[in-house]
Amino acid sequence: MAAPHPLSALSARETNLARDIVKASHPGALLFFRQSYLFEPPKEEVLRFLELEHSGALTTSSPRPDRCAQVFYDVIGGDQKSQYYESVVDVTKRSIVAQEIISEEHQASLTTAEFDIVVESCKRSKMFQDKLKEIKLPEGFETVIEPWPYGAPDLEDGNTRYFQALVFARDARKGQDSNFYAYPMPLIPVMDAATKEIIRIDEPATGGKGDSLTDKTYAAGAIDHCQSAEYVPELLPNGTRKDLKPLMVVQPQGPSFSITEGNLIQWQKWRMRVTFNPREGAVIHDIRYDGRPVLYRLSISDMTVPYADPRPPYHRKQAFDFGDGGLGHCVNNLTLGCDCLGVIKYFDGVLTDADGTAQESKNVICLHEQDNGIGWKHTDWRTGRAVVTRRRELVIQFIITLANYEYVFNYKFDQAAGIVVEARATGIVSVVNMDPGKTAPWGNVVSPGALAQNHQHVFCVRIDPSIDGNENTVVQEESLPLRMDKRTNPNGNMYEVRQTHITTSQGIDAAPFNNRVFKVQNLNKLNRVSGKPVGYKITPPATQLLLADPNSTQAKRALFAKKHFWVTKYKDHELFAGGRYTLLSKSEVGGVSDAADRCDDVLNQDVVCWSVFGLTHNPRVEDWPVMPVEMLQLHISPSDFFTGNPALDVPSDKDVASRLTSGCCKEEGPKL
């Protein structure tokens, strides 16, 4: 069997081997496994390997980085108290090379098994069941428990590991697919993870503008004024549209991409490797165009979703959807012909269950091509000759479902050597119970009795560039007005393009009115046409950032969300903008803000760029019961990297399947 590539995910065999090695290091102990995935080798070692690989000098005897797994687990003592461990296991040498007991000030990421415990604890809690009886559900309704992270803890919470749950009711007469979110109940049970007991029931206020933020106002029959809101096709009152004709993506000669070595993708001069891990989802490695290195690593580093309802306990409501529990067990197993269209290649992932056994998760990443309109076009008006090409993209996609919300993440590569990182939000807005006839400044009533709270989604993309090598410099470029000057700007039409080298690690705001962009350049290599350093341009989306007061716990635990763009010096395993430990955190520790505070020299160094952008979501009625996608895009484009348009050689072939129509709805489709 060929040795795995250093930039390939752990196999099920390697994952199980790491489990066995960890178990052997704790004889007789009860272990609870949380995650296990590739511990990426030091970058310096990988670069030496890649140099051999891309020069054609790699042989079976060439040195390879150690193959290691990082394993996250609890060791549970006789008193049922647990200690959280993180171990690095060399699966080739079959030994533990690093092991750490994590301080109690940090919480391990949650697992779906713990969420199951929350549900069971609610079912057996007399305190909770008594509160349910006070609500007096309508006939035919049943209770639905939806576990949530506890969020931003209050001072008196200490370091206790708490979970909470939102509570809804479902009309069981309509079956298991009926939308229970339409019937939110004003009860939030809180569970102590150590005792697995419900310790209290928070009862949030259900009033609105002008009412107390803390007083209980609901009474028996709290969901009687709520209204059904179905979205499953067979439950829609009027069914689905009948006038929509099929639109098929047909590739009669197959795709233009190829897959070798399990995860090596080649398409239209692009070459890259893709892996999946339960913390970041799809990660793209060693990205090259026409043989030239562009990026060493590209990933979704973090995201946070803070809610803006000031009423206790909603002030705690803030999720870190990547850091709190990882997204491994929330990732969708994608379906052919639904989530991706055309000729599809799926990649599987490896997850672990509570005893550390590897579980294959099918179809967690899909790869496909798509048409995105015109790529480039010009018509010579003198001759009437038009040349036009289509903009074809290679798309690497994964989707996660986190309770009510879905997120669709796409990495798009085009034929002009551009990269787009796209985040789409959809799913069901988080709603809470609202008294009849009330409105509130912290949300919008999207259905009778259901208030959708104002909130934000703040994402961070980590970009590890290698622009023709790993010694790169980030340049801030702005376009600024110039005053008239008799000598240099006599007619006032000139503007200044001002470039500022970023010399120390820092966070920077976007400035759309200055057209502020960031160019990652290799100062050691000049473009032979322009004479400027070769580079790639990053255009950070100039969106609103975190709105919570800087002194709030929400803001302190998401410091990455205070700047649009960060530049830091590379450090092995510094991957997460919000820090490694976000669950129940009180402040951001070890995140990008701490990395920037080192004030490292980043001039002509191995640098990392972090792009932060967000969606401020003040819900609309049109977001109910399932919201249309909201989309954000980050663009990474060549800037003096080439000597001309790299897509100039894309064929301008006609689509022979296209045809005219008179608009008659009865015309036959094309014969394929």
Residues known to be catalytic: 321, 405
Q: How many CA atoms lie within 13 A of 152 on its CB side?
A: 24
303 and 457 Cβ atoms separated by less than 8 Å: yes
459 and 321 Cβ atoms separated by less than 8 Å: no
Burial degree of 85 (CB within 10 A; 0-12, 13-18, 19+): buried
88 and 68 Cβ atoms separated by less than 8 Å: yes
Measured CA to CA in angstroms, residue 5 lies from 15, 66, 288, 613 at distances of 16, 11, 17, 33
In angstroms and rounded to an integer, the radius of gyration of the C-alpha atoms of the chain is 27
* 3 state DSSP class of 189: strand
Alpha helix (H) residue ranges in 280-371 = none
Q: In what order do the strands lie in the sheet with 30-38?
A: 30-38, 68-76, 82-90, 95-101
CA 578 to chain centre: 13
Token digits of residue 370? 């798509």
* 3 state DSSP class of 39: coil
Ranges of beta strands (E only) in 533-602 are: 533-539, 565-569
Token digits of residue 334? 């994608």
Strand-pair category, 264-267 with 495-501: unpaired
Tell me which residue of 300, 297, 285, 290 sits closest to 534, measured CA to CA: 290
- What phi and psi, each to the nearest 5 degrees, are found at residue 586? -105, -20
For the stretch 471-490, what's the b/e string if a residue is b when 16 or more beta carbons lie within 10 angstroms of its beta carbon?
bbbbbbbbeeeeeeeeeeee
Measured CA to CA in angstroms, residue 193 lies from 108, 137, 584 at distances of 12, 28, 12
Question: How far is it, in rounded angstroms, from Cα 304 to Cα 392?
Answer: 32
Tell me which residue of 224, 135, 136, 229 sits closest to 181, measured CA to CA: 229
